[in-house]
Each structure stands twice: as structure tokens, then as C-alpha cells.
């Protein structure tokens, strides 16, 4: 069942579920790349600052899909002691993997931020936005990193997620989603247009959001980016807000 026209439509619908954050000490954090157009619409609708949260999982050697930790900007580093103990990963291997992933992270941050400082999360509500949740692994990592960077409260907000992921996302104080089907196949199945988002589009949206928070006009490039996006080309949550086809 298709629920959203594209990521922009998804962001507008999601924003209506987040009205309780209007006027709060919050920042909207888009997960690059596909989460940023959704986050842009949320931040604009609620008049909140927009930023990205760039994270990298630290995968176990020879089993990269199993995360033994995660890293983020500002030297943020979160390790899973249980996975490290169970797998016997050495300090040398951990350092090598972290070094490689840190280089990838810094390169991506430099490309997206273009010298702009990240929004300080200390004491703020971090609203982590993606275009959907499948397994929830990236969102969990982002929650850990946001909290490590000083967020007082962490909310995960997505247009669509399976019921299980939405109701059991460690690290999130609150999970908000528009549509939570009991039979979930893939995030893209719920979008009419799920075209890839480019780094260029992310940069334009971040620039437009920065100008908005500074009181400057934002219409030109942001309209171009959003038009392009339309065209084909560990805690348990204390609150879950979603719509399910089978309540």
C-alpha cells in the first residue's frame, strides 16, 4: 500500500505528528541522505533548526553487519561491551576499523557541512528523522551518538516503520511514525517516488535551512532541491505514536 507521494509529502505528514515540539528547545536531525528531505519539511513546518547526524557503525571483522559500536562527529564513540567480549575483537582490530570508519565519516561530514559547525545538542531534544525504518539499526546508532553528544531527550521520527521496530527501539525516549503496518516489506514500498537523494540535494537543503534560522530568504535553491527530490532520478521507548492498519 502506497501512503506517501514522496519524501517531501512524508515530511509534511510527519510534521503534523510532532506539533508538540513547536517552540521547544529541539533540533531536527536528518539521517543522510534520504532522511534529510523528510527532516527539512519537519523543521520548516515546526520552525526548528535542521542539521544532519552522520554516524558510522563499527562492524565486527568478517561479520560487518554485526555492530560492535558506532562513531559520530566530535569524537563520539559508543562501544557494545557484550559484542566485543563475545567476539573477542582485539584492541588492534578495533582501532583499525575505527580509523577507517572515522576517515569515511569525516570525509562525508566535510562534504555535507562545507565548514558549517554542527548544532550543539547539549541539553536539547534531538529529533532524529529518516525516510523510514527497516531493521532500526541505523536509528539505534544515531540515538546512541546523539545522547553521547549531549542530547537531553532523543526522539526518533519516521514516516513508516514496522510495528515491531517502532515499539522496541532501544535508545529512543519516544518513537513517532505516521504509518506502522503489521505486514512490512520495505520502506520504498510505501512511497510512490522513492528516488535516491544526492549529496547535492542534501547540501542545498541544509544551506536553505541555515538561511531560514538566520532570518534570510530561503525560497530559491530550496525549491529547486525539493523539486528535484520529487522527480525520478539502550532504552525502550517511553512513548510510541503511530498509525497501524490493524490497531
pLDDT tens per residue across span 138-155: 888 899 889 988 999 999
C-alpha cell at 168: 522496541
Residue 76 confidence (pLDDT):
82
Rounded distance between C-alpha atoms, residue 153 and residue 90, angstroms: 33
For the domain with range 7-53+122-241, which CATH number is right: 3.30.565.10, 3.40.190.10, 3.40.1000.10, 3.40.50.2020?
3.40.50.2020
Domain 56-113 fold is Ybab; Chain: A; (3.30.1310)
Q: How far is the C-alpha of 129 from the C-alpha of 52, rounded, in Å?
A: 9
Q: Do domains 7-53+122-241 and 56-113 have the same CATH topology?
A: no
Mean pLDDT of the chain: 86
User: What residue ranges do the domains of the chain occupy?
Assistant: 7-53+122-241, 56-113
Q: How confident is the model at residue 206 (pLDDT cuts 50, 70, 90)?
A: very high
pTM for the predicted model, two decimal places:
0.83
Exposure letters 166-182 (e unless 16+ CB within 10 A, then b): bbebebbbbbbbbbbbe
Length of the chain: 247
Amino acid at each position: 500500500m502506497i501512503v506517501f507521494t514522496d519524501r517531501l509529502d512524508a515530511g509534511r505528514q510527519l510534521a503534523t505528528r510532532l506539533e508538540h515540539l513547536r517552540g521547544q528547545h529541539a533540533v531536527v536531525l536528518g539521517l543522510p541522505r534520504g532522511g534529510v528531505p523528510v527532516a527539512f519539511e519537519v523543521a520548516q513546518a515546526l520552525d526548528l533548526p535542521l542539521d544532519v547526524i552522520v554516524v558510522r557503525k563499527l562492524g565486527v571483522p568478517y561479520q560487518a553487519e554485526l555492530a560492535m559500536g558506532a562513531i559520530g562527529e566530535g569524537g563520539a564513540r559508543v562501544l557494545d561491551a557484550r559484542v566485543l567480549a563475545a567476539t573477542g575483537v582485539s584492541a588492534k582490530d578495533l582501532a583499525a576499523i575505527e580509523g577507517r570508519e572515522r576517515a569515511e565519516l569525516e570525509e562525508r561530514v566535510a562534504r555535507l557541512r562545507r565548514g558549517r559547525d554542527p548544532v550543539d545538542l547539549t541539553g536539547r531534544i534531538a529529533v532524529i528523522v529518516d525516510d523510514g525504518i527497516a531493521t532500526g539499526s541505523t536509528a539505534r546508532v544515531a540515538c546512541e551518538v546523539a545522547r553521547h553528544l549531549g542530547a537531553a531527550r532523543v526522539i526518533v521520527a519516521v514516516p513508516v516503520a514496522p510495528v515491531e521496530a517502532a515499539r522496541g527501539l532501544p535508545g529512543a525516549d519516544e518513537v513517532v511514525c505516521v504509518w506502522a503496518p503489521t505486514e512490512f516489506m520495505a520502506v520504498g514500498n510505501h512511497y510512490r517516488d522513492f528516488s535516491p537523494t544526492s549529496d547535492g540535494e542534501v547540501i542545498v537543503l541544509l544551506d536553505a535551512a541555515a538561511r531560514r534560522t538566520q532570518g534570510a530568504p530561503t525560497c530559491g535553491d530550496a525549491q529547486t532541491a525539493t523539486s528535484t527530490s520529487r522527480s525520478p532520478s539502550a532504552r525502550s521507548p517511553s512513548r510510541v505514536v503511530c498509525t497501524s492498519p490493524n490497531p
